[in-house]
Structure 1
Amino acid sequence: MAIHRQRLPDDAVLIIGAGLAGLYLALNLKPRKAVVLAAKPVSEGAASAWAQGGVAAALAAGDSPQAHAADTVRVGAGLVDPAIAQLIAEDGPGLVRNLASLGVPFDRDAAGEFVLSREAAHSAARVARVSGDLAGKSIMEVLVARAKAADWIELAEGKALDLLTDGNGEIAGVLAATEDGLTEFTTGEVVIASGGVGGLYAVTTNPPSSRGDGLAMAARAGAVIGEAEFVQFHPTAMDIGRDPAPLATEALRGDGALLVDADGARLVDHAEGELAPRDIVARAVHRAKAAGRQPYLDARHAIGEAFPDRFPTVFSACMSAGIDPRRDLIPVAPAAHYHMGGVRADAQGAASLPGLSVCGEAACTGAHGGNRLASNSLLEAIVFARRIAERLKDSDVVSRTAQSAEAPPRLPRADLAQLREAMARHAGVERTASGLAGLLDEISAMEARTGGANPLIAARLIAASALMREESRGAHARADHPETHAEARRSAMTLAEARNAAARAA
């Protein structure tokens, strides 16, 4: 197949992904040109639009960035970088106000102050929402409109397949599938803002396209991947047989909804109850379901008749499944929701390869550690989007010559279904060495049959990192290693090391 070659202007920054991270970064890049590459039209497909909770920030009187950072560190199972936690907490209030100034209609009270909700493991109400559960959708509508109107931003449709290098380990562009076929976009600065890995799992709240492409592309180029084993499972995905599973936002539990079985018995035995850290709640729901006790979310008394107005997205999903949450229990199950790991990035969002930055869920900045604090994801995305933009605006323009590359193979639909089931079974809420080793063997067999498709590479990184961490910490639970080591150790791995993981563990 012929490959089209398009050299971008020397000052152009090529951004892979048109979610919150990618668009906010592009909007802040002026006067540098931003080319935003998205697999679907810019108004579709981004996981950011599915975010129901909101943006966490210390906006209330009596709250502080120090308290927010302390909660972030406390929840992160010993793996959060305290300096990064403080950084995002300090930048948060100003950036939420900036989003509001752009037109995001955050909920306000009669005095014009932000209406804030409390979510799991926060010591205060600090989540800025829009119409209860429409934060992601509303933020994205505003950013898409702003991006379309910005004369320094070009919106390009195409699916990124691989990174281009200059032959010396420096990033020089992107190979993408476009309407013209394969296209090589050559440029000196690439930013991965392509989202997470939830689509690698049989049960997920993420769009199907979230299959770790950014993770795989960066790893194939030689980038360091951090904390890949830490996948956050949301405890209250609606268990109604849909793919992806509709999310019942944590804000429901923040407003008093309870997790129960069919007999009304509570499922979470923890001092903070339903607002315990997500890993604890997810394991409680997972174990109940594994024991044959169908988990439910009971919002009948806490929300009741106010459900349609306070949580319109969840209400609509329930009603479409024949569930009236004002009167019925909502069946729930844990679902792959957010990747705390990703491409290792420093405090300025730079990856380990020259010419490559990473932002949003695809990044591992040290902000989330082993267990993300609720609604810190959108916060981290905007903080690092702004930081990357500021760094690139002040950096010298670099021109590189890209070496041609071949497109990685596509994973056949049957193999993808097999991979998703295997990931859910062996790299899910609870894991074992034998299960993870078997998963790696299964991935190797698929690679031998179909080649090194991006989903297989991303899955290998997760499974190999999980196999190497022989303890239970945060969202990573090993049934064969239930203890937590005294020393908290951050993990880092290249693709070459991931391929040798089974032998190293043995």
Structure 2
Amino acid sequence: MPENGVIIIGSGIAALTTAYYLHEHKNVTIFTKTKKEESNSWLAQGGVAASVSQEDDWRCHFDDTMTAGCHHNDEKAVELLVREGPKRIRELINAGLSFDVNQDGILHLGQEGAHSKRRILHAGGDQTGRTIVSFLLEKLMGRVTIVEGEYVIELLVENGRCVGIKTKNQLGEISCYYASAVVLAAGGCAGMYAFSSNASTVTGDGIALAYRAGAVIADVEFIQFHPTMLFVDGKAVGLISEAVRGEGAVLVTEDGRRMMEHVHPLKDLAPRDIVARAIHDEMSKGHRVYLDISAIPSYRERFPTMANLCAEHGIDMETGRLPIVPGAHFLMGGVLVNDCGQTSIQELYAVGEVACTGVHGANRLASNSLLEGIVFGARAAEAIRRETAPPTPLRKKTNDIHSIKRGVNDLPEIPTIQTIMSIYAGIVRHEQGLQRAKQWFEQFPLSDFVNGSLDDFSIEEITVIHMLLTGWLITTSALERTESRGGHYRTDYPFEREQWRQRRIRRTKKELTVTV
């Protein structure tokens, strides 16, 4: 790779947007551990929130975002998001991206939870993510290099500066690639939980990679659970977009009671953390919860992805009731960055869900995630384009980093980690359970995993190690936040504390002090 090359880790909307705004200025190489289409962005049924109508205003979008985030948000970052969002949307439309329009050719704007205006743009009905990813891939075809099937196992850092990455492929071959900047866009960590809306590849790799490299991690106790996953035979088999409730679907109990009627003024369109906890409470009593779609006309045409999902799993939509369960959906925290995506490590950037920009606060407003990937992906690209400092000469790595030799039998199975996280660090938490989870994670040599080389481990084992590190980070951060706010709810501290409103729990690898 040439000296002015840029490496991007991930292939979702944040990664591709960064590449889109960068490829004419830098040589860009995208690395993805499986196929380029396997990302949360590809699966995203919801839309992009932006104040593009004359009846809307960025200030209104700002207020909605702050309210949903329980005012834990970074106000400057939120203003950047909602003010720049419409501009970036128009740029993509002018480049050929098509959003859904009504019969008059005007953009169709949907309604979603906690939004005070109809401002959700959709593409392909409920296939917005796939449409945008396909559009960006087409624009980038032949203009960037995409490397599929290589798992990034380490960020290479020299003298406080990220100079490249180390990868391993399915044959066990290790390679090192160097660049003038590295962009981490590896997604979140919802795959750490038993019920998840995410792609199976999203297991906290990016958080663990950055932590091992020494980057600051913040706000990872805030996990959003999407209220409506289709629930079949004890498994969450796919997400039912919030747009379905925006068009009139309601949550009901087995006896037909409107579940959200007296829970929140916005009822079924209340913030996701409130809806998810209400469903969790109902299910903890042994009751089933359903999404009643009978009030939506032509729902098969309006939501083809949902219709196909139901057909695939033998759910009869004609009954008007879909069995649902909440599932881990989005990480509000992540690798701490500034408003241009720069992390605490020089030349290491982070964009998308892996990054903690501060825009989501304690609870993400619906359809702000794709907008964040677009806005901050573009901002990171502009920052990298402005960077003119030449690469620091590399020194050959010394041999003082020890290699850890452990067998498969020494590591837990992924479902075991998912069970621990779901029971003790899930929708509802308390100190006793979090302590049990913390002790469980600390039976493994976490310090060795952070400070040692993982070269001798298989890709499958490294995935587990990354999940162990990310799970420990989430659990210990949740223990330290002795309040309930947004996606972090503790029964032993059920109320918000004013002094915690703008405080972020930050972690670096130096803080990993465990007894093994």
TM band (smaller chain)? over 0.9
* Secondary structure in 1 matching 2:315: coil
| 1:460 maps to 2:475 | no
Which deviates further from its counterpart, 203-212 or 399-408?
A: 399-408
How far did residue 427 of structure 1 move?
0.6
Instruction: Work out which of the residue numbers 347, 350, 371 in structure 2 matches 1:379.
Output: 371
Give the drift of 1:145.
1.5
Distance 1:418 1:395 in 2: 44
Match of 2:169 among 154, 164, 178: 178
2:506 aligns with one of 481, 493, 501: 493
Q: Please state whether the residue corresponding to 1:460 is helix, strand or coil.
A: helix
Secondary structure of 2:413's counterpart equals helix
- Give the whole-Å Cα distance in 2 for the aligned partners of 1:277 and 1:98: 30
Contact kept? 2:236, 2:327, Cα under 8 Å: no
Stretch of structure 1 that moved more, 456-465 or 92-101:
92-101
Instruction: From the superposition, tell whether residues 295 and 502 of structure 1 become closer, same or farther in structure 2 (CA, over 3 Å).
Output: farther
**1:195-344 correspondence runs (5 A):** 195-241=187-233, 245-268=237-260, 269-300=263-294, 302-304=295-297, 306-344=298-336
Q: How far apart are residue 111 of structure 1 and its match?
A: 3.1
Residue 416 (structure 2) aligned to one of 412, 418, 443:
418
Deviation per residue, 1:306-326 (Å, 9 max, x gap): 121000001111122221223
Q: Which amino acid aligns with 1:298?
A: D
SS in structure 1 of the partner of residue 264 of structure 2:
coil
| SS across alignment from 1:63 | coil
Choose 351-360 or 176-185, whichever is displaced more: 176-185
Q: Which one of the candidate residues 63, 72, 82 is aligned to 2:56? A: 63
Match of 2:439 in 1: 441
Percent identity between the two aligned chains: 35
Partner Cα separation in structure 1 for residue 61 and residue 408 of structure 2: 42
1:137-161 per-position Cα deviation (integer Å, ceiling 9, x unaligned): 11111111112132xx111121111
Where 1:333 maps in the other structure, the secondary structure is strand
- Deviations along 1:422-450, one digit per CA (max 9) or x if unpaired, are 00001100001111111111112244799
Residue 136 of structure 2 corresponds to: 143
8 Å contact 1:77–1:474 — kept in the other structure?
yes
SS in 1 for 2:45: coil
Deviation at 1:39, TM superposition (A): 1.0
Q: 1:108-127, aligned counterparts within 5 Å?
A: 108-127=101-120
Q: Retained in 2: the 8 A contact 1:437–1:502?
A: no
1:482 is paired with a residue of what secondary structure?
coil
- Correspondence for 1:34: 28
Provide the residue aligned with 1:5 in structure 2. none
Structure 2 counterpart of 1:160: 152
Residue 245 of structure 1 deviates from its aligned partner by 3.0
SS of equivalent to 1:246: strand
Q: Distance in 2 between matches of 1:214 and 1:117?
A: 32
Find the partner of 1:347 among 321, 325, 339.
339
Give, in angstroms, the shift of residue 499 of structure 1.
Answer: 3.0
TM-score, normalized by length of structure 1? 0.92
Aligned-pair CA distance for 1:414? 4.7
CA distance in 1, matches of 2:284, 2:512: 31
The AA in structure 2 aligned to 1:391 is A
User: Do the aligned residues in 2 keep the contact of 1:196 with 1:211 (CA within 8 Å)?
Assistant: yes
How far did 1:501 drift?
8.2
Of 111-120 and 408-417, the range deviating more from structure 2: 408-417
CA distance in 2, matches of 1:177, 1:113: 48
Distance 1:494 1:407, change over 3 A: farther
Change (3 A) 1:37 1:406: farther
Distance 2:281 2:152 in 1: 38
What is the alpha-carbon root mean square deviation over aligned residues?
2.2
SS state of the match for residue 112, structure 2? Answer: coil
- Indicate the residue corresponding to 1:133 in structure 2: 126
Deviation readout 1:259-309 (Å, 9 max, x if unpaired): 111101122221100011111001001101111111110001x225x1210
Q: In the TM superposition, what is the alpha-carbon distance from 1:493 to its structure 2 partner?
A: 2.3
Deviation of the 1:195 alpha carbon: 0.4
Q: Give the Å deviation of 1:179.
A: 5.7
Shift of 1:500: 4.0
TM-score, scaled relative to structure 2: 0.91
Which residue of the partner structure matches residue 429 of structure 1? 427
Q: Which runs of 5+ in 2 are unaligned?
A: 451-464
Query: Structure 1 stretch 408-417 or stretch 288-297: which is displaced more?
Result: 408-417
Q: Aligned pair count?
A: 490
Deviation track 1:98-152 (CA, whole Å, cap 9, x = no partner) reads: 22233332101233221000101001000000232110111111111112132xx
In 1, Cα distance between the equivalents of 2:164 and 2:447?
29
Amino acid at match of 1:24: T
* Residue type at the aligned position of 1:254: G
Q: C-alpha separation between the residues in 2 aligned to 1:94 and 1:382? A: 11
Matched, 1:96 2:89: yes
Amino acid at match of 2:327: A
Q: Distance in 1 between matches of 2:306 and 2:402?
A: 43
Alpha-carbon spacing, 1:243–1:388, altered in 2? closer, same or farther (3 Å): farther
